[in-house]
Chains A and B, each alone.
Chain A
Amino acid sequence: GAVVSQHPSRVICKSGTSVKIECRSLDFQATTMFWYRQFPKQSLMLMATSNEGSKATYEQGVEKDKFLINHASLTLSTLTVTSAHPEDSSFYICSATSGLSSYNEQFFGPGTRLTVL
């Protein structure tokens, strides 16, 4: 299957700072990328969907001003957690697909563990 990378794999930051997480599709062009948040022992919760060259679509309850998403190219999407607080500590996972239906497989990155002190 296709490969999706995330960087960094782990990040620790101080409360109030911003953190950027990159998601790259290495061997295919991703028209759509998804950002998920996963709490320990819980499911993946979709945060937002981003399409290349357009604004991201956020799920209900997700603060778009706090979680800035940019999908500047067909191979790169970034998630910036602004003014991070301890409650933002979580495991963030991205996925990428080349289609607009769940018929098209999503390829997942390995995730980024964010710890806010």
Chain B
Amino acid sequence: AQSVTQPDIHITVSEGASLELRCNYSYGATPYLFWYVQSPGQGLQLLLKYFSGDTLVQGIKGFEAEFKRSQSSFNLRKPSVHWSDAAEYFCAVGSPNDYKLSFGAGTTVTVRA
């Protein structure tokens, strides 16, 4: 069975500082990996995804993530956060043979001025 762990429940970062959100997954084969952002009153929005190929994935809003098979990780990064990046972030894992996604518990990001 596939599962996802997001070790950080809450992260506070200063505007303009860099951000890294951790994600570790458990899956027997090569997973499909996703990062979503959830803002209040809005649905989850896909930031980026990894299926295969280049392990450094670029997404929307200046985010990137790196797939590290040896560490079973897919950490999300942004070099310089904006106040609008304050939101809930979810990592998810899926597989080529199934449409189900397994989500982590989420990380809440607070941005201080």
Contacts and interface: CB of A to CB of B under 8 A. Distances in A.
A49 B100 contact: yes
Interface in A78-104: 93, 95, 97, 99-104
B99 A43 contact: no
A49 B99 contact: yes
B96 interface: yes
A46 B4 CA distance: 14
Interface residues of A, number: 27
A107 interface: yes
A108 B104 contact: no
B43 A105 contact: no
A32 interface: yes
Nearest to A100: B99
Nearest to A4: B43
Contacts of A101: 94, 96-99
Which of B41, B44, B103 has the largest count of A CB atoms less than 10 A from its CB?
B44
A103 B51 CA distance: 8
A41 B9 contact: yes
B101 A102 contact: yes
Interface string A7-34: 0010000000000000000000000101
Contacts of B49: 105
A43 B32 contact: no
A54 interface: no
Contacts of B43: 4, 93, 95, 107-111
Contacts of A1: 45-46
Given A42-B105, A101-B98, 14 more contacts: A1-B46, A4-B43, A9-B41, A41-B9, A43-B4, A43-B103, A46-B101, A49-B99, A99-B99, A105-B46, A107-B43, A108-B36, A108-B45, A109-B43
Top 5 A-B pairs ranked by shortest CB distance?
A102-B94, A108-B43, A108-B44, A43-B103, A44-B103
